[in-house]
C-alpha cells in the first residue's frame, strides 16, 4: 500500500504575510526564549490571555470538565451530530498553549465535522514529562469509552506535538487492547523525537515558524527516548489517517515519514501538502483562507469516518 499524497497548490497574499510576520517575531522568540522552569511558566500567560485575544465564536458552547482527573473542555457547535466525538490534543511543544489557545480553531472543527470536541488540558513541561502528557491523553480516551461513547464514532486529532499525542493514544489503545478510534487526524504532527533529519532538511532554513536552534533545544528539553516516537511504533491495526502539513515547514519530514510507515503497515493514509503554508496554518483561519479550506477537509474526513449507525443494523442485532 502507498499513502495517498495530495499537493494543494496556491499561496494567498495573506498566507505569505503571515509567514513573514512569524519569521520576524515568533521564530526568533522561540529560538532564544529560556527553556528553564521559570521561562516555561512565563509562557502560561498565553493560555490565560487567549480568551481575550482568540475568543471562541459566539455560537460555540464551551463546558469545562474533568475526565478521570484530567482537565478538559467540551466545545460544541450548532447542528451537532449526537454521538460523534473528536478527542483533540493541542500543540505547543509540550510546554506551551492549552485548550484556550486552540478553542477558536477547535470550535470550527466542531462546526465543520458536526462533532462534539473534547479538548484536553493534559499536563506538560515543566511540571510533567512527555510520558505524563501521554498518560493524561490516554486516560481521557479511556474515560470516553467508559462513558459509553462508541469508538467507531471517536476521532483522535491534534496539531504539532498534539499530533504526536494523537498517534500515541491510538497506539496505546492497541497495546492495551482497548477499542481503536475510528480515525486519526494530524495537523503537522511531530512524529519523530529524533530531530537529526529535520535539522538537515531543506526546510530547516525555509520554515517561518521554527529554527534549527529551536528544534535542538526542544529535543534537549524533552529528553525523551526516540523509541517513544509514533513513527517507530507498531502501526499495523491503526485506523485511517489524515495528515495536513505545509510544504516549507520544519515538520514536513515527520509527516512524510509517518505517511510512508503507515502505508507500509497497511494503514490507509492521506497526506495533504499545502504549498508554502506555515506550521499549523489552520490556527490562522481568520486570516488565511487556506486555513479554513483545510478545516473543511478535516470536517469532511471526520464525517466520512464516523457515519451514523444504520438503524436496520441495530434492529437486526436485536433480533
Report d(CA 276, CA 16) in Å as an integer.
Answer: 8
Domains of the chain, by residue range, sit at 4-307
What is the predicted pLDDT for the residue at 300? 98
Report d(CA 202, CA 217) in Å as an integer.
Answer: 19
Report d(CA 210, CA 52) in Å as an integer.
Answer: 26
What is the predicted pLDDT for the residue at 2? 86
Rounded mean pLDDT of the chain?
A: 94
The residue behind cell 502539513 is: 245
What is the predicted pLDDT for the residue at 312? 59
What is the predicted pLDDT for the residue at 266? 97
4-307 has CATH 3.40.50.2000 classification: no
CA 264, distance to chain mean position in Å, is 22
For the entire predicted model, the pTM comes to: 0.95
- For the record, the C-alpha cell of 22 comes out as 512569524
For 141-199, what is each residue's pLDDT tens digit?
A: 999 999 999 999 999 999 999 999 999 999 999 999 999 999 999 999 999 999 889 99
Catalytic residues: 160, 249, 279
Which of 45-59, 83-97, 238-252 comes out lowest in average pLDDT?
45-59
Given pLDDT bands bounded at 50, 70 and 90, which one contains residue 1? confident
Task: List Cβ<8 Å contacts ≥24 apart for 212-219.
Answer: 213/31, 213/32, 214/27, 214/30, 214/31, 215/250, 217/31, 217/35, 218/35, 218/93, 219/193, 219/194, 219/195
For 62-98, what is each residue's pLDDT tens digit?
A: 999 999 999 999 999 999 998 999 999 999 999 999 9
- 176 class by beta-carbon count within 10 Å (0-12 exposed, 13-18 middle, 19+ buried): exposed
The DSSP element (H or E) to which 297 belongs, if any, is helix 289-305
Report d(CA 277, CA 79) in Å as an integer.
Answer: 30
Report d(CA 316, CA 307) in Å as an integer.
Answer: 18
- For the record, the C-alpha cell of 139 comes out as 486516560
What is the predicted pLDDT for the residue at 85? 98
Amino acid at each position: 500500500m502507498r499513502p495517498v499524497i495530495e499537493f494543494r497548490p496556491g499561496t494567498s497574499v495573506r498566507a505569505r504575510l503571515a509567514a513573514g510576520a512569524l519569521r520576524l517575531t515568533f521564530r526568533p522568540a522561540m529560538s532564544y526564549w529560556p527553556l528553564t522552569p521559570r521561562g516555561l511558566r512565563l509562557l502560561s500567560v498565553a493560555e490565560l490571555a487567549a480568551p481575550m485575544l482568540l475568543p471562541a465564536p459566539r455560537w460555540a458552547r464551551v463546558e469545562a470538565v474533568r475526565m478521570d482527573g484530567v482537565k478538559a473542555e467540551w466545545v460544541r457547535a450548532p447542528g451537532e451530530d449526537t454521538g460523534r466525538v473528536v478527542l483533540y490534543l493541542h500543540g505547543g511543544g509540550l510546554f506551551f498553549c492549552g485548550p484556550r489557545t486552540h478553542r477558536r480553531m477547535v470550535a470550527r472543527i466542531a462546526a465543520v465535522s458536526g462533532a462534539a470536541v473534547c479538548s484536553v488540558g493534559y499536563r506538560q513541561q515543566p511540571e510533567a514529562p512527555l510520558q505524563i502528557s501521554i498518560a493524561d491523553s490516554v486516560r481521557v480516551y479511556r474515560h470516553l469509552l467508559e462513558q459509553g461513547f462508541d469508538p467507531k464514532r471517536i476521532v483522535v486529532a491534534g496539531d504539532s506535538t498534539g499530533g504526536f499525542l494523537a498517534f500515541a493514544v491510538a497506539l496505546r489503545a492497541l497495546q492495551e487492547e482497548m477499542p481503536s478510534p475510528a480515525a486519526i487526524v494530524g495537523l503537522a504532527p511531530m512524529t519523530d523525537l529524533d530531530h537529526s533529519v529535520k535539522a538537515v532538511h531543506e526546510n530547516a532554513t525555509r520554515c517561518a515558524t521554527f529554527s534549527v536552534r529551536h528544534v535542538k533545544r526542544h529535543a534537549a528539553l524533552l529528553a525523551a527516548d526516540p523509541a517513544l516516537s509514533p513513527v517507530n511504533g507498531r502501526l499495523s491495526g491503526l485506523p485511517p489517517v489524515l495528515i495536513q502539513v505545509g510544504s516549507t515547514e520544519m515538520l514536513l519530514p515527520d509527516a512524510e515519514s509517518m505517511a510512508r510507515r503507515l502505508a507500509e503497515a497497511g494503514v490507509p493514509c492521506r497526506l495533504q501538502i499545502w504549498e508554502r503554508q506555515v506550521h499549523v496554518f489552520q490556527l490562522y483561519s481568520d486570516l488565511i483562507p487556506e486555513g479554513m479550506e483545510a478545516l473543511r477537509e478535516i470536517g469532511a474526513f471526520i464525517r466520512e469516518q464516523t457515519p451514523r449507525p444504520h438503524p436496520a443494523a441495530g434492529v437486526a442485532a436485536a433480533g
